[in-house]
Amino acid sequence: MNCYSITLSRAVGECQLLGKPQSDDELFTVTPFPWIKLCRNDFDETFRFNDHKGPHSEFFMDTVIATSKSYGIVVNSFYELESVFLDYWNQNYNPRAWCVGPLCLAKPPSKPHQEKPTWLQWLDQKLSEGRSVLYVAFGTQAEIPAEQFREIAVGLEKSNLNFLWVVRTKPGMELEEGFEERVKEKGMVVREWVDQRVILEHDSVKGFLSHCGWNSVMESICAKVPILAWPMMAEQHLNARMVVEEVKIGLRVETVDGTVRGFVKWEGLEKMVKELMEGEMGINLSKNVKELGDMARKAMEEGGSSGKTLDLLVNDVVCAKKRTIT
């Protein structure tokens, strides 16, 4: 998680804002941050319903209790991105949060020692042809209904864009017979493990259709690749709000009924991937994410904000340990 999501979640809970809207998609203002508007559907079910019982609710409460008893929260983010929310958290809540990322920049991207995997060879080919590629991946945990999965396939095919789509192999997520043959000149479907950072860093990749898991957002920022946000679970809807509305490095998929958790038809997906990859808004997003990516790299350089924060964290822990001993 990031400072944006944990701070807004805490503020919304304390101000009891989730009980005010009449519907799950009615927007409300987050009192301490009046420029931010959220809805109940931006929060996971466990957070929305305090009386909800079950393993997810129990895990959520265990996490809250463990965090409250912790010395601090180490956040995979950087100060320049989250200063407003980090400062607010540290001034109003405990335990203290420390931004020490992006951690994906702590080491260089891995390079294949043997023959390049087929997906990397394919990206190299697209680069040599001067083609821009949309990277599509929704993480390892999101459950995509079969009907929605089919709409994604149609939307990508109809867009006529070059795309690399990483697909989880599971029942209900089979592609229509003949799909891969039809799109083979422009699209590639990958069912094996991939190095996401290598893909995002590739010069051919100019957009990322993503579930907005925080690690994916960080990797996209560092690679300076704009995002088409399609959040599905956990805090991903808040991450999407941040990406689209707060730092303006992404667009959001278009649902049929305009709700944040609504069904996405292929027509809406086609429209938004084209806007991201070819439209005027996509051009502006690329400029914004480039600036943010430069900030991220500076934060991790010697003397940068994340390095200084890590030094402060280590010093604080050492001093606390000494006080305990004496």
Q: In whole angstroms, what is the distance from residue 82 CA to residue 35 CA?
A: 15
Query: Could you read off the pLDDT of 256-306 as tens digits, one per residue?
Result: 999 999 999 999 999 999 999 999 999 999 999 999 999 999 999 999 999
CATH class assigned to 118-292: alpha beta
- Average pLDDT value for the chain: 91
Query: Identical fold at 3-105+298-325 and 118-292?
Result: yes
Distance (Å, whole) CA 85 – CA 80: 11
Q: What is the pLDDT of residue 326?
A: 61
- Structure-model confidence comparison of residues 175 and 3, the more confident one: 3
Write the pLDDT tens digit of every residue in 109-157. Answer: 666 567 889 999 999 999 999 999 999 999 888 889 989 999 999 999 9
Q: Cβ contacts of residue 100 below 8 Å, gap of 6+?
A: 74, 75, 76, 306, 309, 310, 313
Quick one: CATH architecture of 3-105+298-325? 3-Layer(aba) Sandwich (3.40)
Alpha carbon distances (Å) from 205 to 1, 125, 174, 189, 313: 25, 12, 25, 15, 36
What is the per-residue pLDDT for 19? 82
The answer to whether the beta carbons of residues 307 and 243 sit under 8 Å apart is: no
Q: Which residues contact 201 (CB under 8 A, 6 or more apart)?
A: 109, 223
Q: Rounded to whole angstroms, what are the CA distances from 55 to 46, 59, 64, 213, 237?
A: 10, 6, 14, 22, 21
- Decide: helix, strand or coil at residue 190: strand
Question: How many whole angstroms separate alpha carbon 73 and alpha carbon 75?
Answer: 6
pLDDT in tens, 156-183: 999 999 999 999 766 667 788 899 999 9
Distance of CA 173 to the CA centre of its chain: 22
Cβ contact 44:234 at 8 Å? yes
Q: Is the pLDDT of residue 54 over 80?
A: no
Helices H / strands E in the chain, number of each: 13, 10
Answer yes or no: are the C-beta atoms of 292 and 249 closer than 8 Å. Answer: yes
Strand-strand pairing, 28-30 and 33-38:
antiparallel
Q: How far is CA 262 from CA 14, 77, 146, 206, in A?
A: 28, 29, 15, 26
CA–CA dist 129, 10 (Å, integer): 49
Structural domain boundaries of the chain? 3-105+298-325, 118-292
- pLDDT tens readout for residues 224-238: 999 999 999 989 999
Among candidates 156, 211, 144, which has minimal Cα distance to 187?
Answer: 156
Q: Kindly report whether the peptide bond that precedes residue 226 is cis, defined as omega within 30 degrees of 0.
A: no
Classify strands 96-99 and 72-75 as parallel, antiparallel or unpaired. parallel
